[in-house]
Chain A
Amino acid sequence: GENVEQHPSTLSVQEGDSAVIKCTYSDSASNYFPWYKQELGKRPQLIIDIRSNVGEKKDQRIAVTLNKTAKHFSLHITETQPEDSAVYFCAAINSGGSNYKLTFGKGTLLTVNP
């Protein structure tokens, strides 16, 4: 089955700096890669996703890149703000298969210091 590794487990940055979180996946058939943000005590929420037919996707201060050959994808947050502090989870799934199990990474605790 799919295995998703996520690094780092914790990340502390100063407000205004950039933050990068990296994930690798094992199943070359995976083709959908969402990122979820979970604030303390709250439910996870989708912030951005990317499909395997594109290499990069951007939404304001958030961008995700995908390298299918190397089987890794990354989340980039620019101009970080204190409200970006949360746990971020990457995930991978093969949307063309019959098993729709979304495999999550173990999460990255991002702390943005004002």
Chain B
Amino acid sequence: GAGVSQSPSNKVTEKGKDVELRCDPISGHTALYWYRQSLGQGLEFLIYFQGNSAPDKSGLPSDRFSAERTGGSVSTLTIQRTQQEDSAVYLCASSFKPTGEQYFGPGTRLTVT
């Protein structure tokens, strides 16, 4: 079946602009995660959804970051007033249950100029 998909694959934006990143999880997966990976760095947890609710938002770097999930499926991560330090690969993952194997999407490479 189809894996996790993300769009766009690449995004170049000017500093100060807003961006929206999209994640389509595997059908039937209730848990969805967003991570950020800077060049050569590890996986920084951003937010986790169980269904449409996000019990843990502690990983969001600032109030410029927000995320939502609708219909227990698609999720969007929005970054307002982007800064250069937001440049990274944003990875989405989904799992059938919160403690199950996480399947990662291909990521969105965000470059803020």
Contact = CB atoms under 8 A, between A and B. Distances in A.
Contact of B41 (A34, A103, A106): A106
Contact of A98 (B33, B43, B55, B102): B55
Nearest to B47: A101
Given A49-B101, A95-B99, A44 B56 contact: no
Q: Do most interface residues of chain B lie in helix, strand or loop, or is the interface mixed?
A: loop
Contacts of A98: 55
Contact of A102 (B50, B91, B102, B105): B102
Contacts, number: 49
11 contacts: A1-B58, A43-B104, A43-B105, A44-B104, A45-B104, A89-B42, A95-B98, A100-B50, A101-B45, A102-B102, A105-B42
B67 interface: no
Contact of B102 (A46, A99, A105, A106): A46
Interface of A: 1, 32, 34, 43-46, 49, 89, 93, 95, 98-107
A104 B101 contact: no
A46 to B, nearest CB: 5
Interface of B: 31, 33, 41-43, 45, 48, 50, 55-56, 58-59, 91, 98-99, 101-102, 104-107
Nearest to A1: B58
Contacts of B31: 100
A37 B104 CA distance: 11
A-B residue pairs, 3 tightest by C-beta: A95-B99, A100-B98, A106-B42
